[in-house]
Amino acid sequence: MCKNLLKAALVAATCLAASASDATVIKLDFEGLGSGAQIGAFYNGGTDSMGNAGTNYGISFGSNTLAFQESDPYANFSRAPSGETVMYFLTGTAILNYAPGFTEGFSFYYSTVTFAARVQVYDGLNATGNLLGEIQLGALGYGPDPDNPYSNWAIGSLGFAGNARSVNFGGTVNRVGYDNITFGSTNPNDVSTPPNDVPEPGTLALLMACGVAALAQQRTPRRRSR
């Protein structure tokens, strides 16, 4: 009886943990990165190319992917959705890898004046495997800030089926800025959930097993002594 209860509790806990993990929304606002720095392992337990460290989400970026701050004297953007730092790329394409994968949806804010862009989501790392979906981004025109043409921002979003592990940001180099990149939601305004807020499967299993076992003990009638 006790073994069966423990097994059931472990199964239930595993399912609950998986459900909590799937519901996690991760948002990257790029604050804390150095202007002009390669993002690299900033969100993967390491640092950007200038030595700045961020939250470890297990997300890494290719060497083409850079951060840019509005206060930089070379910046020509403003009114970013959050803070003053955005993502962009100068050569090739910008690839993002997230080995554990994410489901449900993907979204972000972007700014581009006269050039179109695209964002592709794949189920393999480094933009390989099956293409789960693609977002076409149209030009937004010059923004309301006369000193910064890249001051118009719009939302790009994609719902898809499957488990995505990489994102490829393409288009004309040095002509598109991104902010509030969001995993697990088609709305970049969703509140993100820090990794520590998601219960660990092992902890959940232990707590549930103890609770079920204690409840079973309370409900099991005691034999009368003869």
Q: Terminus-to-terminus CA distance in the chain, angstroms? A: 24
Query: Domain limits at 4?
Result: 1-23+198-226
CA distance 127 to 17: 28
The dihedral formed by the CA atoms of 120, 125, 176 and 195, expressed in degrees to the nearest 10: 110
At 177, the amino acid letter reads G
Q: Residue 81: phi, psi to the nearest 5?
A: -60, -30
**Are 101 and 179 part of one and the same domain?**
yes
pLDDT band at 219 (very low <50, low <70, confident <90, very high): very low
On whether both 3 and 63 belong to a single domain, the answer is no
Mean pLDDT, residues 117-128 taken together: 96
Same-domain check for residues 208 and 192: no
pLDDT at 16: 40
109 in the same domain as 13: no
Residue 223: burial class (beta carbons within 10 Å; 0-12, 13-18, 19+): exposed
- The DSSP bridge partners found for residue 168 are 95, 120
166 and 103 both lie in a single domain: yes
- For the segment 6-65, what is each residue's pLDDT rounded down to a tens digit? 344 444 444 443 333 345 899 999 999 999 999 999 999 999 999 999 999 999 999 999
| Cα dihedral 53, 55, 60, 65 sign | negative
Report pLDDT digits (tens) over 158-179. Answer: 999 999 999 999 988 899 999 9
Give me the pLDDT at residue 149, please.
95
CATH number at residue 102: 2.60.120.200
Q: Mark whether 221 and 184 lie in a shared domain.
A: no
How many structural domains compose the chain?
Answer: 2
Are residues 19 and 70 part of one domain? Answer: no
Is the same domain home to 152 and 175? yes
Residues 112 and 15 in one domain: no
User: Which phi and psi (to 5°) does residue 58 adopt?
Assistant: 80, 25
Supply the pLDDT for residue 195: 59
CB proximity list for 6: less than 8 A, separation 6 or greater: 209, 212, 213
